[in-house]
Structure 1
Amino acid sequence: MIKGVIRFLLQILPRPFLIRLSLLINRVVAVFLIGNKVECPVCGGKFRRFLPYGYTKSTGRDNCLCPKCLSLERHRLMWLYLKNETDFFNKNIKVLHIAPEQCFYKRFKALPNLDYTTGDLESPIADVHFDVQNIPFADKKFDVVICNHVLEHVDDDAKALKEFNRILKPGGFAILQVPMDTNNPKTEEDPNVTDPNERERLYRQKDHVRLYGLDYADRLCIAGFKVSQSKYSNQFPKELAEKYRLPMNEIFYFNQKL
Structure 2
Amino acid sequence: MILLTTILNIVPRPWLIKISYWVRPLLAFYLRGKKYQDPIDGRTFRRFLSYGYGKKRTNVLAPSTLSLERHRLLWLYLMRETDFFSRPLKVLHVAPEQAFYSRFKKQSNLTYTTTDLNSPLADVKADLCALPFSDNSFDVIFCNHVLEHIPDDTQAMKELYRVMKQGGWGVFQVPMENDREITFEDNSITDPKERTRIFGQYDHVRIYGKDYSQKLKKVGFQVEMIPYAKRFTAEEIERYRIVFDELIPLCTKDC
Q: TM-score, normalised by structure 2?
A: 0.96
Is 1:40 matched up with 2:38?
yes
Partner of 1:123: 119
Is 1:188 matched up with 2:184?
yes
Distance 2:196 2:36 in 1: 31
How far 1:113 moved relative to its partner? 0.2
Partner of 1:179: 175
Distance 2:187 2:194 in 1: 12
Overall identity of the aligned pairs, in %: 50
Partner of 1:10: 9
How far 1:8 moved relative to its partner? 6.1
Which deviations, in whole Å up to 9, do the C-alpha atoms of 1:119-173 show, x marking residues without a partner? 1101111100011000000000000000110111101000000100110111101
Distance 1:46 1:5 in 2: 19
Unaligned ranges ≥5, structure 1: none
Give the residue type in structure 1 aligned to 2:9: L
Distance 1:204 1:63 in 2: 18
CA contact (8 A) 2:5 2:49 kept: no
Partner of 1:50: 48
CA contact (8 A) 1:30 1:68 kept: yes
Gap change, CA 1:139 and 1:235, over 3 Å in 2: same
Which deviations, in whole Å up to 9, do the C-alpha atoms of 1:56-87 show, x marking residues without a partner? 2x2x1111111001111000000111111111
Distance 1:87 1:132 in 2: 26
| Correspondence list, 1:166-245, <5 A | 166-245=162-241
What SS is found at the alignment partner of 1:132? coil
Partner of 2:253: 257
What SS is found at the alignment partner of 2:160? helix
Is 1:71 matched up with 2:70?
no
* Residue number among 134, 138, 142 corresponding to 1:138 in the alignment: 134
Unaligned ranges ≥5, structure 2: none
What SS is found at the alignment partner of 2:165? strand
In the TM superposition, structure 1's runs of 4+ consecutive aligned residues that sit over 6 Å from their partners are none
CA contact (8 A) 1:51 1:62 kept: yes
- Aligned CA RMSD, in angstroms, stands at 1.4
How far 1:183 moved relative to its partner? 1.8
* Residue number among 134, 138, 145 corresponding to 1:149 in the alignment: 145
How far 1:114 moved relative to its partner? 0.2
